[in-house]
Amino acid sequence: MLQQTTRQCVSEHCLDILFREARTYYGWLPKAVSDAQLRELYELARMPPTSSNISPQRIVFVVSQEAKERLRPGLKPGNVDKTMAAPVTAILGIDSRFFDHLERLAPHAVDKRAGYLSDPDLAARAAFRNATLQGAYLLMAARALGLDCGPMSGVLHDVVDAEFFPGGEVRSNFLINIGHGDPASVRPRAARFDFDDICQIL
């Protein structure tokens, strides 16, 4: 049973790491990311919620030079150099058959499987929404562990899928380059909307 505790905010330093000072990196320092770090990263990123715990994200961590060369043809030209230089590239996929795992992940929601099977559009929207949410969790977990990230969607999805997800049930969503970022590669921070520009309190 979960113990009731007083909720506390994380420190200002943590908020800086996760949000205020966090940046997208386009270049990387020659410092490796270990398999143990990737496992620690996943252990954190798997914990936040998805709808009924469906967890549709699938991940391929591209680390070896051989795997990088397999990925190269699926990258758009502007993304090749920074991706080849990254210690790790996470290919984030979406499992279209996520509902086959409801008995294990969501025994309270196994009855939803029939609905997903009968409504492919509903299933596709649930898979995309929740896998993308999980991608954001992975990015934040990486930052929390002292790693830097370069998320990107500039990929040739058919090429990546044929190489890394050949079964057809999983399709690529986006990539995240992960490592220790080169500060010289950071661009000036672009503008953000102010609260009153886009928010309402009703």
The band of 8, judged by pLDDT with boundaries at 50, 70 and 90, is confident
pTM of the shown model: 0.94
User: What tokens does 36 get?
Assistant: 């143990």
On the question of pLDDT at 118 being above 60, the answer is yes
State the average pLDDT over residues 15-32: 96
User: What tokens does 56 get?
Assistant: 């549709």
State the average pLDDT over residues 10-33: 95
Q: How far is CA 79 from the centre of its chain?
A: 17
Q: Is 3 exposed, middle or buried (0-12, 13-18, 19+ CB in 10 A)?
A: exposed
On the question of pLDDT at 41 being above 70, the answer is yes
The span from the CA of 28 to the CA of 12, in Å, is 26
Residues in the chain: 202
Q: Which has more pLDDT, 5 or 124?
A: 124
Question: Rounded to a whole number, what is the distance in angstroms from the first to the last CA of the chain?
Answer: 36
The span from the CA of 155 to the CA of 178, in Å, is 16
Query: What's the mean pLDDT when you consider all of the chain?
Result: 96
Helix H or strand E segment including 149: strand 148-152
pLDDT tens track for 131-188: 999 999 999 999 999 999 999 998 999 999 999 999 999 999 999 999 999 999 999 9
Give CA separation, 149 vs 19, 110, 137, 156, 197, in Å: 12, 36, 12, 20, 28
State the average pLDDT over residues 19-46: 97
Judge contact between 28 and 87, C-beta under 8 A: yes
Q: DSSP 3-state helix, strand, coil percentages of the chain (rounded to 5)?
A: 50, 15, 35
Residue type present at position 66: E
State the average pLDDT over residues 67-81: 97
Q: What is the dihedral of CA 22, 28, 29, 33, to 10 degrees?
A: 80
Residue type present at position 159: V
